[in-house]
Amino acid sequence: MCRLLGVASTLPVSVADAVGETVLTDFLALTKIHGDGWGVASAVGADDTPRVDVSADSALDDTRFGTAVKEPARGSVVHLRWATNGLAVQPENSHPFAADGVAMAHNGSIKPMAALDALLEPRVVSTLRGTTDSERYFALIRQHRRSAPDLVESVRRAVAELRQMYPEASLNALILGEGQLIAVHAHARSVLLDEDIEEISATDLPVEHLEDYFSLRVARPDDATVVIGSTGFGDLDWSPLPPESVASVALDDLSMTVVPIMAD
């Protein structure tokens, strides 16, 4: 499981400048639990194609993290990893994953993984690099992109398919690509395991980590910036995202579109 932070801006801005030093410091404090790797995807260049930097080290101890969150971009996704039991702590398993001009980070666990593997076509399976359920979730989104009219719909179709098979899984995710930052807010029946609660309780992390661990929130620190983040850090003027939904923020004008996962 993980913590997510996304930034969309009409003008290039670094994550550090977009959220401010206090929020970023609070976010880094989460490495007390979420210290099994980090990753940053940044939409840079004329076509906003995400560039990804990942590590299996703790963000608090890796100077590369500080560099990555200070790079100006119109869109960014930051991920702190808390490795699911049994999955290796290695760069190939660090989020965000990137392919086909899109990057994605996930907060949750999709088990058993065999049913997820069975959904993937051989050509997509051949592109996998790591061993996580999250990378396979991303692969399913990419698979749907071949027939979906746009990226948002490919995300919605993938999430809807997984929701029917895994009704209790957290499918929360941030996706960056095709000129937009997309947030999947889907964790209706997700709960922390007893051992996770025990580990969190042994730290001084905010109580939100126990009460509302899987929620995603949105804030607008200024007219040119939208921030989406997990609970448990920062003092921005947060508002909850609609439950069981896919929200898309356009990088050009920050307009937001929200669609339910289960379309009529």
| The total number of structural domains that make up the chain | 1
| CATH value at residue 156 | 3.60.20.10
Question: Span 47-59, mean pLDDT?
Answer: 93
Summarize pLDDT for 209-258 with one digit per residue, the tens.
555 778 899 999 999 999 999 987 888 999 999 999 999 999 999 999 99
Summarize pLDDT for 118-177 with one digit per residue, the tens.
999 999 999 999 999 999 999 999 999 999 999 999 999 999 999 999 998 999 999 999
State the residue range of the domain holding 215.
Answer: 9-260
Q: Is 21 part of a structural domain of the chain?
A: yes
Phi/psi for 191 (5° steps) reads -135, 155
Given a cut of 90, whether residue 82 has pLDDT beyond it is no
Given a cut of 60, whether residue 192 has pLDDT beyond it is no
Question: Span 88-98, mean pLDDT?
Answer: 93
Please tell me the predicted confidence (pLDDT) of residue 34.
Answer: 78
Please tell me the predicted confidence (pLDDT) of residue 1.
Answer: 62
Q: Is 1 part of a structural domain of the chain?
A: no
Given a cut of 90, whether residue 63 has pLDDT beyond it is yes
Is-contact 42 76, C-beta < 8 A? yes
Q: Is 2 part of a structural domain of the chain?
A: no
Q: Is 71 part of a structural domain of the chain?
A: yes
Please tell me the predicted confidence (pLDDT) of residue 45.
Answer: 74
Please tell me the predicted confidence (pLDDT) of residue 44.
Answer: 87
Relative orientation angle of helices 133-145 and 151-165, to the nearest 10 degrees: 130
Given a cut of 80, whether residue 202 has pLDDT beyond it is no
3-state DSSP helix/strand/coil % of the chain, to nearest 5? 30, 30, 40
Q: What average pLDDT does the chain have?
A: 90
Nearest residue to 213 (alpha-carbon basis) of 191, 193, 228:
191
Please tell me the predicted confidence (pLDDT) of residue 208.
Answer: 60
Question: Span 66-76, mean pLDDT?
Answer: 96
Q: Is 3 part of a structural domain of the chain?
A: no
Q: What is the CA 98 to chain-centroid distance, rounded? A: 12
| Least confident segment among 3-7, 80-84, 169-173 | 80-84
Nearest residue to 104 (alpha-carbon basis) of 169, 37, 39:
39
Q: Is 32 part of a structural domain of the chain?
A: yes
Q: State what percent of residues in the chain have pLDDT above 90.
A: 74
Q: Is 174 part of a structural domain of the chain?
A: yes
Please tell me the predicted confidence (pLDDT) of residue 197.
Answer: 56
